[in-house]
Amino acid sequence: MRSFTAKRAFAMAAGLAIIGSLAAVALAGPASAKSSNAVTCAHLNAPAPKQHVTKLAVLSGCTAPKATGGLGRVNALVTTPGSGNATIKWNKAGSTTTFDYKLFAETNPDERETQACPAHTKEFVVVGQVTGGTGAAGRLLPIGQPVSAEVCVNAKRVINEPGNRVKI
C-alpha cells in the first residue's frame, strides 16, 4: 500500500511540475527582441567635430537590411566626455532609431583589441540605450536595447575603432 501511495504522489508532483512549466512558457510569450547586437554596423565615419559635436555621422555596413537599408545617418554625436541623445535615420524609408548615450574617455584599452585607434586620436567609449524609433527599425530595436561603440576622435574626423563594430 505504501509504495502505491508513494508512486501516486510522485506522479501527481511530476504532472503538476509539467503543467507549471507549460504555464510559465505560455505566460512568458515570445522571446524578447532585446539583444546585445540586434544591429551592428561595420563603419562609423563623421566629419571634424565643431565645438565638441560632430554632425551627420554615417553608419555603413549595417546588418538587418530589411530594417536599416544597410546605412544610417546620425544627426549629431558629442565628442568629449558627457552625455547626449541622437537619432539615426536609416536608409530604409520611414525607419529611425533614437537613443540616449554617455561618452567616456577610454582609460584602459581592451585586452582583446587587435587594432588601436590611429595615431593622434583620442579613444572614447559610447554606452547607451534605445529610447524610441519608427518603422521597421522601431519594431526591431525596442526601447532599452543597448547601444555601444568605441570611437576615435581627432580634429579632422570621428571613426569607430578599427576592428570594432557599432552595436545597437
Express each pLDDT in 74-132 by its tens digit: 999 999 999 999 999 999 989 999 999 999 998 776 655 667 898 899 999 999 999 99
103 close to 81: Cβ distance less than 8 angstroms: yes
Q: Which amino acid is at 164?
A: N
Residue 106, pLDDT score: 84
Residue 127, pLDDT score: 96
Residue 19 in this model has a pLDDT that exceeds 70? no
> The whole model's pTM is what?
0.75
Mean pLDDT of 129-141: 97
The answer on 59 and 141 residing in a single domain is yes
> Does 35 fall in a domain?
no
The answer on 45 and 19 residing in a single domain is no
The answer on 101 and 22 residing in a single domain is no
68 close to 91: Cβ distance less than 8 angstroms: yes
Instruction: With H, G, I as helix, E, B as strand and everything else as coil, classify residue 135.
Output: helix
- Total number of domains constituting the chain: 2
Range of the domain at 24: 1-30
Residue 15 in this model has a pLDDT that exceeds 90? no
Residue 107, pLDDT score: 76
Give the C-alpha distances (Å, rounded to integers) separating 103 from 74, 113, 137, 152: 15, 19, 23, 12
The answer on 105 and 22 residing in a single domain is no
The answer on 119 and 95 residing in a single domain is yes
Estimate to the nearest angstrom the gap between the alpha carbon of 46 and the chain centroid.
19
